[in-house]
Amino acid sequence: MVIGELNVDLILNQILGFPQIGEEIIADNMALALGSSSAICASNLSSLGLKVGFIGKLGNDLFGKFTIQELQQKGVDTALIIIEPNEKTGATIALNYKEQRSMITYQGAMLNLGIEDIKTENLKLAKHLHFSSYFLQPKFHDKLDGLFKMAKSAGLTTSLDIQWDPMDKWEIHLEKILPFLDIFMPNETELLKITGQTDLKQAIDLIKDKCNLLVVKRGNKGSILSYGGKIIEKGAFINAQVVDSIGAGDSFNAGFISKYLSGGKPEECQEFGNLTGAISTTDSGGTAAFMDLGRIKRIAEEKFNYFNH
């Protein structure tokens, strides 16, 4: 079960320069895609062969219908998504520059999703709960530990990807959340921000003993895994022809979680996360490379020489 924000992505690629106030520039390529960290992760988990349900909020509009359609095409169960008739569906405009991007997000209906919308009987439908984009969902602030406590009481394993804080405040009570969390999945910058550190090793040392599994995503530098007193660094699968990096971290999450739920060792989960993150960069928008399991395997073999399925 994935709980989180829902929005569409309007992605502009092949842009020369960055727009200045009062001026206009040209993008040579545009795509409308399923957006949001949570939805990309859910979609790719389903493509990897898992049964996935989603809890989130959408507006009763064209973007909302598009989001439902995209999730359903990937096999995600959308029955628990809540349609807010008086709200608009969220949207992100992404300006994409190879492996870097700038984004503007309108939150819309996602602002109104809260713990009161989550029912224990719905959690019990699943074995695992993944939550993403804490800072975009203010009704979970100071209540996320309650959600994970509900999930653990219902017998689920749990994972969290906090994502970026647009307000740059980075206020999150990790000490309340981590006792109910099985996998904590920040990227390098996010971990440095929430710990107030400038050195990655110091940031990891600060929280590693409070985490069951801590995995830090580092883009084309790979990832770092900490568990049971071990620190394991694994290099990235390098894609020499990146289409875009949108959703690569969410695709890493999908790979790690799918391997974790199939009983993989933490190091195997880490390696598979690195692989699925790299696969994401071979096509646009975070989900296009994950059309089905057969295509995922072909990309893994042909582009990354990965045959261990």
Whole-number Å distance between alpha carbons of 124 and 147: 13
Output the pLDDT for position 31. Answer: 87
Cα angle 240, 245, 249 (rounded to 5 degrees) comes to 115
Whole-number Å distance between alpha carbons of 172 and 279: 31
Task: Count the residues in the chain.
Answer: 309
Mean pLDDT lowest for which of 3-7, 167-171, 285-289? 285-289
Interaxial angle between packed helices 188-195 and 200-207, expressed in degrees from 0 to 180 and rounded to the nearest 10: 70
Instruction: Tell me the per-residue pLDDT of 253-283, one tens digit each, with 9 for 90 and over.
Output: 999 999 999 999 999 999 999 999 999 999 9
Output the pLDDT for position 285. Answer: 84
- Mean pLDDT computed over 64-89: 97
Is the pLDDT at 76 greater than 70? The verdict is yes
Output the pLDDT for position 26. Answer: 93
Q: Identify the band that residue 99 occupies on the pLDDT scale cut at 50, 70 and 90.
A: low
Instruction: Tell me the per-residue pLDDT of 17-44, one tens digit each, with 9 for 90 and over.
Output: 888 999 999 999 998 999 999 999 999 9
Is the pLDDT at 14 greater than 90? The verdict is no
- Mean pLDDT computed over 199-206: 98
Amino acid sitting at position 200: L
Instruction: Tell me the per-residue pLDDT of 134-182, one tens digit each, with 9 for 90 and over.
Output: 999 999 999 999 999 999 999 999 999 999 999 999 999 999 999 999 9
Is the pLDDT at 100 greater than 80? The verdict is no
Phi and psi (nearest 5°) for 103? -135, 150
User: Right CATH number for 2-304 from 2.60.40.10, 3.30.390.50, 3.30.390.10, 3.40.1190.20?
Assistant: 3.40.1190.20
Whole-number Å distance between alpha carbons of 132 and 261: 18
Q: Identify the band that residue 309 occupies on the pLDDT scale cut at 50, 70 and 90.
A: low
Output the pLDDT for position 197. Answer: 97
Burial 4-37 (b: 16+ CB within 10 A, else e): bbbbbbbbbbebeeeeeeeeeeeeeeebebbbbb
Q: Identify the band that residue 199 occupies on the pLDDT scale cut at 50, 70 and 90.
A: very high
- Mean pLDDT computed over 95-121: 90
Output the pLDDT for position 96. Answer: 81
Burial class (CB in 10 A: 0-12, 13-18, 19+), 232: middle
Higher pLDDT pick, 285 / 164: 164
- Mean pLDDT computed over 294-307: 94
Is the pLDDT at 118 greater than 70? The verdict is yes
Output the pLDDT for position 5. Answer: 97
Interaxial angle between packed helices 248-261 and 266-280, expressed in degrees from 0 to 180 and rounded to the nearest 10: 150
- The count of other CB atoms within 10 Å of the CB of residue 121 is 7
* Average pLDDT score over the chain: 95
